Chain A
Amino acid sequence: MTEAARAHHDDRVRVLIVEDDRTIADFVSAGLRQEGFAVDVVDNGVDGLDLAQSQPYAAAVIDVMLPRLDGLSLVTAIRRKGVTTPVLFLSARHSVDDRVKGLQTGGDDYLTKPFAFPELLARVQALTRRGQGAQEPTELAFADLHLDRLTRRVHRAGVPIELRPREFALLEYLMRHAGQVVSKTMIVSHVWDYSFDTGTNAVDVLVYRLRDKIDKGFEPRLLHTVRGVGYVLKLE
């Protein structure tokens, strides 16, 4: 654990990953490191329990099915020891019962496999923010695009842009996650508050309309499609 000890002194947000599937663990840890997190990975519940108790983590991503000690027992154990690290459970099962059980044990959020990385990232960020109690700004800006959450006004390069409520909600969500890819599922969940995959192309339609308003007639293009993953607000 020399890496962990070394990393303890830097100011990056530290996340624990307990996942026995090597591919998933690598995928998640590489993604989180790229987003600026410090990540510790273990592949079984007992090591996870040791680490979670010995170090203060900003968040933990824990698989439900683990060798030696399952995820639910692991979280029950650390909660009993007074560890309040927010937990994101990963599970291959999707039934509501599992969800309730996971949250009752002391998990704070839940993600079913398979998942898109942007969704995991958004949840981890939400959990670590929750720990810090950060206040979100009322005014969002990206490049020459500005959005005021109170007056609900949007303008780009000084030109006011009229947005309908759903377009506004989408843009606000994209700007809050500027530079990050957000998936269709995340957008459906945020804009329409639907928690399931609707199989709709409503997101495509909405993104198309938003792009028509914020990118048409402006340079450079800000709203990009990442084929198969989702959408991102970025400067190329």
Chain B
Amino acid sequence: MSSNSNRSIGRAFAFRLGLWYAGLFIVSAVALSAATYVLLARALAAQDHDVLQSMLSRYAVEYQRSGLAGLQRVIEADAGQGRHEGLLVRVVDERTEAVYFAAPPGWGEFDLSPLDAPSVSASGWATLGGLPDGAVLEVGSVMLPYRVMVQVGRSSHVRDELLGRFRARGLEILALIAVAAVAGGFLLTRAALAPLRALESTVRSILQTGQFDARVPIRDSHDPLDELGARVNEMLERIQSLVSGMRGAIDNVAHDLRTPLTRFRNVAEAALLTTDPERAREGLAQALEEADRVNATLTALMDISQAETGTMALALQPVRLGQVVDEAVSLYADEAEDRSIVLRSTVPHDLRVDADHTRLRQVLANLVENAVKYTDSGGRIDISASAGDGVVALNVRDTGIGIAPEHLPHVWDRLYRADASRTTRGLGLGLSLVKAVVEAHGGRVEVTSVPQQGSTFTVMLPTAAVPIEGTTPGTRHPVSGFRTTGTGHPSAGRRHPARR
């Protein structure tokens, strides 16, 4: 219903646009033709006038030089040379008698009397009607001494005929132009509105199907309508990622919370049914732990989903990467020491990245936790960083159990664990959170691994554009040329002396 009315509105719009186009086109063609016609008519009239005028002047000069006889001679010579073709030539003396008269054939019944009217002879120029074909006669008169008058006239017939032909052809051409204008108008409007129509049909298909897969076709013409289509596509892309992110989050929540909730329910039930108060207390404590796990899972899932859909609020500021790394190292130093794992960082303290401090700490804590978790006793974990091209690359290299090639692409997936037994503690969300948060920062993550030899997780983040306040220039490294190996920062990789 509404789409039908939309379509008819669209058609009316196209019709109106086409009509405007054709109308403007026709009006300008008519105006141009009319102007041409008027100019042509004037030019022709002026030309005729000039011919008569020059002839009159010549006769007047001749008369003054050689008198009536001379004039007569010249006129007859002109007539002999055919210069009077189509002209009326008349010489009249004071008694109003025609001394000479010549007129084109076919003017026989032409009434000459108006030529003698005082108004005609006095005014110099006169226009007389009554010629065959409705043409007019333009007559120029010149009064010479001794009341001799010379008159030369020309019928407008020739130029009327020319203009008539012009008019006829002109109208034909105008008719063709009008047809072309109307047709062209509609074709052009159609073509111009095609992107809008495509946009409309894309939006309609999304509205009807609820699927955000449809995209506006783009023709790469870079015109405003194409740009609009491209922006709409970007918007759809964004909406799709948000929607699928939310759908994914809900699916994950449903799936991931069911297991701990089941355990929660089971231990609570067992605690309720037991008669041993000690076991009941134990059950309650377990229930509490499961509840905390549900909460932690929920928080992590929401964080991942927010980071992935771009709705995570990030307070970006220059952050000292080395410091954040050391904090993460300190969180796991005791555990690493207990298991005889060497955990050290060579990340310079003045290496800066643009990041949300809390989120970056979370990323680092998760990376180090992951490395510690999968490294056997006696292994080592090295954290290093290098900068260049506006990007800081942070490497967490461990000598752990490694990741088999078939698992490697999935390590960033939510809840993916290479060990099917799921004996390792943790939510299985740490690396997904790392990836989501890093990508929300405009960075990216990589992993390489050799099974049984170890893995290297790499996080690439944009270098801070603004220096941290209080950083003295002397302690700042140049952007390139960081030591990625070697001694590193004195406070990095704190190893406490063995206890006495």
Contact partner, A227, options B285, B299, B330, Cβ 8 Å = B285
- Report yes or no: B335 in contact with A192, Cβ–Cβ below 8 A: no
Q: In the complex, which residues of chain A have a beta carbon less than 8 angstroms from the beta carbon of B292?
A: 114, 228
Mostly, the A contact residues are loop
CB distance from B381 to the nearest CB of A (A): 15
Q: How far is it, in angstroms, between the C-alpha of A162 and the C-alpha of B496 when the chains are bound?
A: 13
Question: Interface readout for A187-217 with B: 1 if CB under 8 Å, 0 if not?
Answer: 0100011111111111001100100000000
Is the pair A199, B334 in contact by a Cβ cutoff of 8 Å? no
**A182 to B335 CA separation, bound complex (whole angstroms):** 21
Instruction: Please give the number of chain A residues whose Cβ is less than 8 angstroms from any Cβ of chain B in the complex.
Output: 26
Binds A, one of B33-41, B170-178, B361-369: B361-369
Chain B residues within 8 Å of A195, by CB: 358
CA A154 – CA B362 in complex, angstroms?
33
Total chain B interface residues with beta-carbon distance under 8 A: 35
Residue of A nearest to B359 (CB): A196
Whether a CB of chain B sits under 8 angstroms from the CB of A229 is yes
The answer to whether A132 has its CB under 8 Å from any CB of chain B is no
Establish whether residues B331 and A194, one from each chain, have CB atoms under 8 Å apart when the complex forms: yes
Q: Tell whether B187 is near chain A: CB-to-CB under 8 Å.
A: no
The answer to whether A114 touches B291, judged by C-beta atoms less than 8 angstroms apart, is yes
| CB-contacts of B412-427 with A (<8 A) | 425-427
> Does B116 interact with chain A (Cβ within 8 Å)?
no
- B332 CB contacts on chain A under 8 angstroms: 200, 202
Is A97 part of the contact surface with B, judged by Cβ < 8 Å? yes
Across-interface contacts of A164 in B (CB, < 8 A)? 496
The yes or no answer to B64 lying at the interface (CB within 8 A) is no
A114 to chain B: which residues have CB within 8 Å?
Answer: 291-292, 295
Verify A202–B426 contact, CB threshold 8 A: no
Contact A192 B330 (CB under 8 A): yes
Please encode chain A, from 79 to 123, with 1 for each CB lying within 8 Å of some chain B CB and 0 for all others. 000000000000000111100000000000000001000000000
**Is B94 engaged at the interface, CB distance under 8 Å to the other chain?**
no
Chain A hits for B369, CB < 8 A: 198-200
Measured between beta carbons, the chain A residues less than 8 angstroms from B285 are 227-229
- CA gap between A201 and B295 in the complex, in Å: 17
Question: B235 on the interface (CB 8 Å rule)?
Answer: no
- A166 contacts B by Cβ under 8 Å: yes
Q: Taking the complex as formed, is B17 at the interface, i.e. its CB lies under 8 A from any CB of chain A?
A: no
- With A192-B331, A202-B331, A205-B335 known as contacts, the answer to whether A197 contacts B286 (CB < 8 A) is no
Q: Are A194 and B500 in contact (CB under 8 A)?
A: no
Question: In the complex, what distance in Å separates the CA atom of A206 from the CA atom of B295?
Answer: 24
A23 to B282, CA, bound (A): 22
In the complex, A58→B260 CA distance in Å? 39
Q: Mark B322-338, 1 if CB is under 8 A from A, else 0.
A: 00000100111011001
Contact A202 B335 (CB under 8 A): yes
State the B residues within 8 Å of A (CB): 281-282, 284-289, 291-292, 295-296, 299, 302, 306, 313, 315, 327, 330-332, 334-335, 338, 358, 361-362, 365, 369, 425-427, 430, 496, 500
Contacts A199-B430, A202-B334 known; 11 new A-B pairs at CB < 8 A: A114-B292, A162-B500, A166-B330, A166-B334, A193-B327, A196-B358, A196-B362, A205-B338, A209-B334, A227-B289, A228-B285
